[in-house]
Amino acid sequence: MTKRVDKLGVAIAAIAAAGAFYAPLAVFRANRIVAGEPRSILEALPVAWAWLLLAVVVGAALMAVLRTPVRLRLGTALVVLVALSLALGTAGRYLTPEGNTFARVSPGSGFWLLVFAFTLMLADALTRLRLSPAGRVGVLAVAAGAMALLLMSGTWDSLSILKEYANRADSFWSEAGRHVTLALGSLVSAVAVGIPVGILCHRVRSIREPILNVLNIIQTIPSIALFGILIAPLGWIAANVPGAAAIGIRGIGVAPAFIALFLYSLLPMVANTVVGLAGVPQAANDAARGMGMTDRQRLFGIEFPLAFPVILTGIRIVLVQNIGLATVAALIGGGGFGVFVFQGIGQTAMDLVLLGAVPTVALAFAAAIILDALVEISSGPGRTGATS
């Protein structure tokens, strides 16, 4: 009997049971800032919807516990996630009084537990299928498309986070653009500077340790402190250097945020470049020398292509890191999704916090999947191109 039981499935079923029977599916608030009233599945949904959802969850939990075929587990997890999405939208409409524009309905802890349980089941099934890098990116694209369809359909329009978005749609996309610009711009700058510095550190061993030590020290400075440290010198430059303020250099705003993200990005880029070049087999270099290749030809024709998967891993680390750190830039007027996070904290409006936090997490997750796939593709068969 024990051979028919999936150990991970037992954990998934336990989490699902807690989410379905002991935690609220939704939270109702009379307005956006008052304390919420938790509502269970049976309270948050019409009777038919509630019992149907419970039946789907129980059936899927049993499917998770048993050693069922991988594709069946994958389909089951997808069905439950779709059912949960539709049920949450139904709960928003069901709990909101007719004509009431102040009431707010948010996902409860039970919803998040159920999503976590069956996302775990979905991820486990995808792992067992051993998808190719292109397959994983394809799954990500399908998931993003499904979420876009869900949002455009209006199913979730009655939920609090969508109401917060409706009130700030223009500023949301403006801050989204600034967030992406900060993350990608600092990444491009770090690549342009970090790779040459890494090559120099690899070739000139005497400067490697001092440079890496300085970058390690920068990495240990808390982000808020580094933003603060940059305010004074940039403010002085803006006040005393002609034209500096005109191109955007100020004590607060985008400039210190960009510089801080750039500085945080240098250590992964330089370190991964050094590690990647150091990992190039000596035999490859000897063969290149024997063919009469110059140092420059060996660097770009042999060493850099072989080290590229490790360097690309550094790029992945930097991008995911910068997407998260760009949130803090809002504290010094740098903009980005952090604007909504800190506004929500100040107003005790948690759905406004989620309006900034959810897209940040989604961007970081998507970036990690896409770049992991690129690392695996660039590594090729039989090579390991990742280091953290």
Average pLDDT, rounded, for the chain:
86
Q: Cα(255)–Cα(262) distance, rounded to whole angstroms?
A: 11
CB proximity list for 73: less than 8 A, separation 6 or greater: 63, 64, 121, 124, 125
Q: Can you say how many angstroms the Cα of residue 70 is from the centroid of all Cα atoms in its chain?
A: 27
98: pLDDT confidence band, cut at 50, 70 and 90? confident
Share above pLDDT 70 across residues of the chain, in percent, rounded to a whole number:
94
pLDDT at 295 over 80: no
Q: Cα(232)–Cα(256) distance, rounded to whole angstroms?
A: 10
Q: Do 9 and 62 form a contact (C-beta atoms < 8 A)?
A: no
Q: In this predicted model, what pLDDT tens digit does every residue of 35-63 receive, in sequence order?
A: 788 999 999 999 999 999 999 999 999 99
Q: In this predicted model, what pLDDT tens digit does every residue of 120-173 receive, in sequence order?
A: 999 999 888 888 888 889 989 998 998 999 888 888 988 888 988 988 888 999
299: pLDDT confidence band, cut at 50, 70 and 90? confident
Give the residue-averaged pLDDT of 200-225. Answer: 87
Verdict on whether the full-model pTM lies above 0.75: yes
115: pLDDT confidence band, cut at 50, 70 and 90? very high
pLDDT at 186 over 60: yes
Query: DSSP strand E in the chain: where?
Result: 26-29, 37-39, 104-107
CB proximity list for 223: less than 8 A, separation 6 or greater: 260, 264, 325, 328
- Top-confidence residue, 326 or 223: 326
For the record, the structure tokens of 125 come out as 């099934």
359: pLDDT confidence band, cut at 50, 70 and 90? very high
Nearest of 205, 217, 336 to residue 278 by alpha carbon: 205
For the record, the structure tokens of 271 come out as 């370190």
Query: DSSP strand E in 93-233: where?
Result: 104-107
2: pLDDT confidence band, cut at 50, 70 and 90? low
Where is 26: in which H helix or E strand?
Answer: strand 26-29
Work out whether the CA dihedral 173, 177, 179, 183 comes out positive or negative: positive
Site of tokens 């100040």: 346
pLDDT at 82 over 90: yes
Q: Cα(17)–Cα(170) distance, rounded to whole angstroms?
A: 40
User: Which pLDDT belongs to residue 10?
Assistant: 92
Give the residue-averaged pLDDT of 320-339. Answer: 87
384: pLDDT confidence band, cut at 50, 70 and 90? very low
- Top-confidence residue, 228 or 195: 195
Nearest of 175, 182, 343 to residue 261 by alpha carbon: 182
pLDDT at 219 over 80: yes
User: Which pLDDT belongs to residue 79?
Assistant: 93
Where is 189: in which H helix or E strand?
Answer: helix 169-203
The amino acid present at 257, given as its one-letter code, is A
Give the residue-averaged pLDDT of 67-73. Answer: 89
